[in-house]
Structure formats: structure tokens, C-alpha cells
Amino acid sequence: MIRSCACALLSALSVSFAQSPTANVLHQFDDDNNASPTSNLIQLPGGDYKILFHFAADGSQCASGASQPTSNGGAIMQAGDGNIYGVCSAGGRYGKGTVFQLTPSGQFTLLHSFHGTDGSAPAGALVAGLDGNLYGVTLNGGLSEEFGGTIFRVGKSGFSTIYQFDASTGASNPNAGLTLGPGGNIYGMYQFNAIGNGFGGPGGVFQIDTSGNITFPSYFQSVPWSCAPVIAPRGGIFSLTQASVIVGDAGQTLEGIPSGSDYAYVALDLPHYFGTDFVNFFGCMILATDGHFYANGISAIEYPTMPFVELRMDVATQQTQFLDLDPYGSTPVLAPLEGADGKLYIVNNGGGVTGLGNVLTLDYGIAPPAPLLGGFVPSSGSAGTAVVIGGNFFVGVTSVALNGKAVPYRVRSSSVIDFVIPSGAASGTISVSTPNGTVTSSGTFTVQ
């Protein structure tokens, strides 16, 4: 459950800012290995750099359609079946975007081409629900090509549209990927509310519960960026906003929505300047396990200076810290990834030795995180019942236990584990262990 006071959580975890992180370029892109990446990173339980698949040049499988890589036009994720799933904001049979599957061996399957009434321009990464289905959103389409959007589901029964946004009566334009929250609920953000004559109020958060019900629990003070919402394990829902006035005039904030609240509060006012340059924040962010928020990408309004930096934010102390990325790369893509080693991993669309982008690590001295356990389904069953555990940092798993007794398990991805209830098992909590620690569920599995 999300607590109402995020500040207490963040304060307890906060540390003072020290020296700049250690930066290391892991991989440099060039003309021979595909230049200028425009999608996010995911962490697999094991592997190295290799090209899995080349998309067709005619756009029949995928076309980015994004004006810039920070606009969240498409992203990838690994599901519990071990396959990689992604969306493209354009391309496909009708030019309005696609959903695809890619096996670890590089076999490509086009799962769906959007045609408008079922949505267009899918945004951000899909998310795996604890029910085994994948969920995603489209920025446009459905009831309105410009001020619409949809929520869709991909599963064993195929593709289906489960919700159409309606700007004339409420929310519209879900502009970012989804996030799996505590208890198995899925959260997303939409950009506008009650559009009229081309103008509307700031957007907010929608929730998909474990039964598939969709509700709209809260709103932001300003328009949120095109990034997935960040959910604190015991805090609130957070987002960077575009501005309280006009984008480019600063006034941008980090906003948080406490559990049970209808509206967001300003958790942190962002600086107006980086050095002497007036800045416009457009970065996607994460809440790392050290309790700080990290965001990629800050672009100066005053050309030709265009500093791209990493922004570190501490709500408890109201501090911010910048790292100039210019010596390493430019135009970071979407949010950084916190790896199981505690380092942050960044994809740069440009810069580096060749000017064509790279993969960069930043070591802030964050301790390698223990696994996180978000939930499990079902909550009860007899011997032979298959149980799916959702969470994060399932890398190097050493054991899974039910009521303190080890059970055979399979690590499907860095966020999904499954196991079967053995004969003679007793009701109790579920725990997952890695070399970095053990996490135990707050709920109990009941053996029938």
C-alpha cells in the first residue's frame, strides 16, 4: 500500500551529495552497429551486446515517429515468458504504430498494427500485470485522433482495447508508459483533462486494479512530462512537470501525489539555471534505491549552448545536483536504468567519440540493491498451483522460499519469477534472495 507521506520515506533514505559520480562508456555506437539509439535499456539476467534484429527500412514493422528520443515514442520490456516486447509510435500496416515481440534468439513477430479507432501512436514501454497480460497506452486515436488515446491489453487471447479516453468529458492523451505499483495495481499518466477549444486542465494519474477496473484517482498541478510515473515503495506517485506557466519559462517542479489525495503537491522546485544557461527540463526519471530521484536530459533554451546533464534530486533536503554529460554523450534517451550492481545506465542518442551515441554508466556509490517484491498472484491455492512473483532486481537469484522453506523456481526475467506450490507446503510469506539481500512479501500465500 502507498503511504500518504512520501517525505518520511525519502528523508530516512537520503544522504548528502558528495563528489561527482564515476562515468564509464560501456559501448560506443557507430555506422557499423546501428547509430543514434532511440529506446530504453532493460536488464536481462545475463548477456552482452549484440544486434538481435534489424527492422525493415519500409516501416512495415516499426518506425520511431518521435520528434526527439526524449518524447517516449517507443520502448521495450522483457515479460515473464522471457521474450522482449516493444511498441513503435509509428509504422506498421496503417502507419499508426505497432506492438511487437522479439525472442532472445532474434525471431520477430508483429503482434498488432494500430489503425486509429483502436488507438494510434503507442507511447512508452508495456508493463506486465500480475495476471500475465501486458498493458500499454496510445497517445492518440480511439474516440479522437488528436485528443483521444486508449489503454490496450496483449495476452494469450490476443490484442484488445480495454479503454478509450474521451477529452470531451475528462481525461485524454495518455503520454507515457505504465508502472506496476505495490499490490499489483498499474499506474499511468495522461496529459490533459477536459479539453475545450484546444485547451484543457493539467493531467493526472489513472489506475488499473488487479480486476481490470480503471479509475482516475488524482491530478497534477501542472502538465506532466511524457514519462512513466514513479512510485515510491512506501511513498507516493511522482512526476516531473512541464511548467506551471509556459514551457521554457522555468517554473518547473517535481510533484508528488500522496495516497488517497486528489491532487499533487510540489515536492521540489527545479532550478531555473544550469550554470548561466536558462534551462528547460524534459527528462524522465527514476527513484533509485538510495532514496534520490535521477533524471536524464536538460536542454538549454539559449542556443547554441545545449548542455545535456544528469539531474539528481533530494526531496528531503531540497537539494539538486547536476552532472554535465557533454564529455560523454548527448541527448539521453528516456529514464536511466538502475542496475543490479547499483550503477545507473544511460543510453545517449548522440555525442561520444563518433557523435552517434553510446551506453554510459554513472557510479554514484549506490549499494547494489536487494531484490524488490511488488506482489504475487494468486494469493491462495493447493499443491501444484503456479505462482507468479513480480518485482525488480531478480538478478543472481539464489533462493525462493514459501513459509521459510525453499521451493524450486524459474527466473523469467529481472522482474518476474514463477514457482509451483509443492506437496506438503504450509501457508506463509514468500521470500526472494540474491547475493545482495532477501526480500519478504508483506502478504501471505494461503495453501488450501
Residue type at 211 in one-letter notation: S
pLDDT of residue 359 exceeding 60, the answer is yes
Digit-coded pLDDT (tens) for 165-209: 988 777 888 878 888 887 778 998 887 776 555 555 677 888 898
Q: Is the pLDDT score of 233 beyond 90?
A: no
pLDDT score at 448: 94
Residue range 12-58, pLDDT digits in tens: 223 334 457 999 998 888 877 667 777 777 787 665 667 778 788 88
Per-residue pLDDT band for 108 (boundaries 50, 70, 90) equals very high
pLDDT confidence bin for 415, thresholds 50/70/90: confident
Which residue type sits at 374?
A: G
> Domains in the chain and their CATH numbers?
6-363 (2.120.10.30), 372-447 (2.60.40.10)
Judge contact between 237 and 228, C-beta under 8 A.
no
* Among 129-133, 137-141, 241-245, 427-431, the least confident range: 241-245
Q: Is the dihedral angle over the CA atoms 217, 266, 175, 242 positive or is it negative?
A: positive
Residue 2's pLDDT is 26
Residue 22: count other Cβ atoms within 10 Å of its Cβ. Answer: 11
Please give the mean pLDDT across all residues of the chain.
81
Question: Residue 407 above 60 pLDDT?
Answer: yes
**pLDDT confidence of 3, banded at 50, 70, 90?**
very low
State residue 314's pLDDT score: 92
The pLDDT value recorded for residue 79 is 85
Could you say which DSSP state residue 242 is in? S
Q: Where are the beta strands (DSSP E) in 285-377?
A: 285-287, 293-296, 298-300, 309-314, 319-324, 330-332, 337-338, 344-350, 358-363, 372-377
* pLDDT band for position 71 (cuts 50, 70, 90): very low
